[in-house]
């Protein structure tokens, strides 16, 4: 029985001895804890903090496209965005959204801008391009399974003035959208003018100056007028060609000026990194690490 008591006494841990040992090793404990705390602090310092900018846009006013809405209203032409201003607005919004989300356009805008040198330096230091950085960082959010078509979000680092960048980028895309649509609409009008001119040649050839009017049959039913455009006659066709040419000149000079931004960019921080928190976590980790080192030494010494 005495032998068992002696055996247990040898394996018992003396709390007083441990406290004395820890006090003697306080310099080592403090050193390891501070080192780990500083590592945590500097780790937080070098982490890239991201912010989020959101911007709300407005649809173009309906009257903006009204001068062109009747440019394609005859039966021989295919339906076009000019058939009504609503169609033109829908076309503008669709093209604008596609261009806004294009990584190529983000790259072009960043390269052309002269006021975001800090951001360009940030990209250069990480050896990435703007389109690589902005991949999946410009987007729309769903709210209750619905997307607000006129609200967009942009993630950006602290090295970029995201609100100014986003506002300027929207204006850049607006100009690009208008420019591309004007080219498409110009081709459409020119094509319509060409069709009318061919019809005018036919009407002149058959000496048809006035349009063929509708007539009534004996059963009082309307007889459909001819479908070919040249049956309108040379007088009507000449006036329509003149009107189309006037619309073409108007289109070339029209800037489609309207304020597309309803609410300018608002910024919020996405991943806020607290350096103090990382320092405290590092200290805590360092304390437990130093205790582990001390007890490991005790075990090795006893063995």
Concatenating the DSSP letter of every residue in 135-159 gives: TT-EE--EETTEE-TTEEEEEEETT
pLDDT of residue 69: 64
pLDDT of residue 86: 62
pLDDT of residue 117: 93
pLDDT of residue 37: 83
Q: Residue 96 domain-assigned?
A: yes
Element spanning 237, H or E: helix 234-253
Most confident of 2-16, 70-84, 289-303: 289-303
pLDDT > 70: percent of the chain: 77
Q: Residue 92 domain-assigned?
A: yes
Whether 113 has a pLDDT exceeding 80, the answer reads: yes
The gap from C-alpha 255 to its chain's centroid, in whole angstroms, comes to 24
189 near 71, Cβ under 8 Å? yes
pTM over 0.85? The answer is: no
Q: For 229-278, how does the pLDDT look when each residue is reduced to its tens digit (9 = 90+)?
A: 888 889 999 999 999 999 999 999 998 999 999 999 888 877 655 677 77
CA–CA dist 240, 77 (Å, integer)? 13
CA–CA dist 112, 194 (Å, integer)? 39
User: Residue with structure tokens 């100009």?
Assistant: 175
The CATH number of the domain holding residue 54 is 3.30.1890.10
Q: Residue 108 domain-assigned?
A: yes
Q: Residue 6 domain-assigned?
A: no
pLDDT of residue 82: 45
List the end-to-end C-alpha distance of the chain, in Å, as a whole number.
Answer: 25
Q: DSSP state, 60?
A: P
Q: Residue 260 domain-assigned?
A: yes
DSSP per position, 195-235 = HHHHHHHHHHHTT--SPPPPEE-TTS-EEPPP-SGGGG-HH
Domain that includes residue 117, residue range: 49-212+225-274
The count of domains in the chain is 1
Q: For 49-91, how does the pLDDT look when each residue is reduced to its tens digit (9 = 90+)?
A: 789 999 999 999 988 888 776 554 443 344 344 445 567 888 8
Q: For 148-161, how does the pLDDT look when each residue is reduced to its tens digit (9 = 90+)?
A: 778 999 999 989 99
Q: Residue 62 domain-assigned?
A: yes
130 near 123, Cβ under 8 Å? yes
Longest dimension (CA), the chain: 137
Q: Residue 55 domain-assigned?
A: yes
Q: Residue 257 domain-assigned?
A: yes
């Amino acid at each position: 029985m005495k032998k068992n008591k002696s055996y247990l006494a040898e394996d018992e841990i003396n709390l007083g001895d441990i406290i004395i040992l820890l006090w003697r090793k306080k310099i080592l404990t403090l050193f390891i804890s501070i080192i780990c705390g500083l590592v945590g602090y500097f780790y937080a310092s070098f982490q890239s903090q991201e912010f989020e900018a959101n911007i709300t846009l407005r649809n173009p006013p309906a009257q903006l496209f009204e001068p062109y809405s009747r440019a394609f209203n005859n039966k021989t032409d295919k339906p076009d965005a000019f058939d009504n201003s609503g169609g033109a607005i829908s076309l503008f919004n669709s093209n604008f959204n596609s261009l806004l989300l294009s990584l190529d356009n983000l790259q072009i805008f960043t390269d052309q801008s002269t006021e975001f040198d800090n951001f360009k330096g940030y990209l250069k230091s990480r050896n990435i391009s703007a389109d690589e950085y902005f991949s999946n960082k410009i987007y729309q959010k769903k709210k209750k399974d619905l997307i607000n078509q006129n609200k967009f979000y942009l993630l950006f680092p602290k090295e970029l003035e995201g609100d100014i960048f986003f506002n300027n980028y929207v204006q850049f895309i607006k100009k690009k959208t208008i420019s591309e649509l004007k080219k498409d609409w110009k081709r459409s009008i020119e094509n319509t003018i060409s069709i009318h001119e061919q019809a005018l040649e036919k009407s002149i050839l058959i000496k048809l100056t006035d349009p063929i009017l509708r007539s009534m049959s004996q059963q009082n039913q309307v007889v459909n007028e001819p479908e070919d455009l040249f049956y309108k006659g040379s007088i009507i066709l000449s006036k329509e060609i003149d009107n189309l040419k006037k619309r073409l000149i108007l289109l070339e000079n029209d800037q489609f000026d309207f304020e597309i931004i309803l609410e300018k960019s608002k910024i919020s921080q996405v991943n806020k990194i607290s350096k103090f928190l990382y320092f405290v976590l590092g200290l805590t980790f360092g304390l437990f690490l130093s205790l582990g080192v001390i007890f490991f030494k005790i075990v090795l010494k006893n063995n």
